[in-house]
Structure 1
Amino acid sequence: MAGFRIPIVVRSYELDSLGHVNHAVYHQYAEVARMSGFAAAGCDWDGLLDRRIASVLLSTTVNFRRELRASEHIEVTCEVKFGTGKTFNVNSMILKADGTVAAEVYCIVGLMGLDARKLLVDPRGVLESNGFDAAVLSGTD
């Protein structure tokens, strides 16, 4: 997967009683990549909020592949895929230093109009009108 990547070092307080990263922390790693990736792509979250629009996470699936332990250096990717509907996919791979996939995180996201409490029809267009450059998170070289 090409596109956006962010380095993270596993911290000891993120471990469970078995000595590897707690399952919930994988979600946090993906969130760090999403927020950092969208910022790198120029997304103006404050501008969206000013327009009474917010992102909403509708579904997350994590496939655990390899355990992570304290002090490991990992990279988390972020790739966005738009279709024609009200939702879009934001996917992340959590990679060990040697490139081994530790986890795959698949998310379905939408943009909600905060007044009507409804998903917006054209999330890509709305994001792009707030500075978002989808090519930064496209996953292609």
Structure 2
Amino acid sequence: MQTSITIEVRPTEIDVMGHVNNAKYLEYMEWSREDWYNKVNLPFDTLTEMNVGTVTVNIDINYRKEALLGEHLTVTTEPVRKGRTSYVLKHVIHNGEGERVADAEVTSVTIDLKARKSVPIPAELGKAFE
């Protein structure tokens, strides 16, 4: 399932170059990832009840075009692939003109919250990749 959120670039997200600071794109993607989990019926509380956490272990990001103050950005998230304990979600950020601003593949691992060790992806999460 592909999901998307729209955000407006705020003054606190701008760096000395006058555009969105590179670290903010990761935050935008994190917000979109949280929205994706909610829409596949696996919000944080549900995962916690299952004693499962998700840990980001790799981010491969490409910055394509600068985003400026006041722009409206759309961040899409979709599942790409899953392994036994890890999975990849793809994020794409477009500006209001439909131009690609950034894209990334984010690899996460599911862990046992008590043991703090990786565990197989729960079936409920695996279904989101079908």
TM-score, with structure 2 as normaliser: 0.90
Give me the CA root mean square deviation: 1.9
Report if aligned partners of 2:34, 2:43 keep a CA contact under 8 Å in 1. no
- Of the three residues 108, 111, 134, the one matched with 2:128 is 134
How many Å separate the matches in 2 of 1:100 and 1:5?
Answer: 15
Give the drift of 1:8.
0.6
Tell me the alpha carbon deviations over residues 2-34 of structure 1, each in whole angstroms, 9 at most, x when there is no partner: 821111111111000010000100000000100
1:38 counterpart SS class:
helix
Report if aligned partners of 2:80, 2:89 keep a CA contact under 8 Å in 1. yes
Report if aligned partners of 1:91, 1:106 keep a CA contact under 8 Å in 2. yes
How many Å separate the matches in 2 of 1:107 and 1:55?
Answer: 12
Letter paired with 1:104: D
- Please give the residue correspondences for 1:15-94 in structure 2 after superposition, counting only pairs within 5 Å: 15-94=14-93
The number of aligned residues is 130
Residues 40-49 or 29-38, more deviating: 40-49
Letter paired with 2:60: T
How many Å separate the matches in 2 of 1:36 and 1:25?
Answer: 17
How many Å separate the matches in 2 of 1:90 and 1:9?
Answer: 23
Report if aligned partners of 2:87, 2:108 keep a CA contact under 8 Å in 1. yes
Give the drift of 1:105.
1.7
Amino-acid identity (%): 27
- Residue in 1 that maps onto 2:9: 10
Report if aligned partners of 1:82, 1:124 keep a CA contact under 8 Å in 2. no
Tell me the alpha carbon deviations over residues 36-84 of structure 1, each in whole angstroms, 9 at most, x when there is no partner: 1111121132122123211111111210000000000110000112333
Give the drift of 1:120.
1.3
Letter paired with 2:116: R
How many Å separate the matches in 1 of 2:76 and 2:109?
Answer: 20
Give the drift of 1:124.
4.9
> Where do 5+ consecutive residues of structure 1 fail to align?
none
